[in-house]
Structure 1
């Protein structure tokens, strides 16, 4: 099994936030052991670069993260497709974690 980072992007808080949260929690539960860490939602961010800190807001801001396990990227995407975040206009960026040897 491989580990994947999910980065939730965009989307505004839906009118019925409690229902959205209930739908999201049901999706998390349906993933079972594939959901390693449901993660956390995040507030607006700032970008830090070598030249300083940018207050520029992104058109596609990060709104949270999760970690899942799947056999491959296609399987990870299949697990993600039913996520309620997608139904409210958000997107989910998915990236496989690299297995680096620890020194």
Structure 2
């Protein structure tokens, strides 16, 4: 997610009442400007390795079903992420097959 200034917001925290555990989320659809969350204006692919996609995709909050945000088309960032994964996979080297100790069952 990207805010209007181009920055990437941190997680959104949901205080569910008393207790030490506060739920947090980085799901794209929580950045809709409600419940003290910032409003994202664009999305882009990202990976846990730190990679961020170069292309951005506008978010039209008026087109997102309130009760089912997963109906919204997020295929652009997903395709960018898949390209990244494919590129990383192409650079990997297969590991040798594990050797079994003598007398081990197959």
Compare the two structures and name the one with the higher strand fraction.
Answer: 1
Same fold (TM over 0.5): no
Compare the two structures and name the one with the higher helix fraction.
Answer: 1
TM-score (norm 1): 0.21
TM-score (norm 2): 0.21
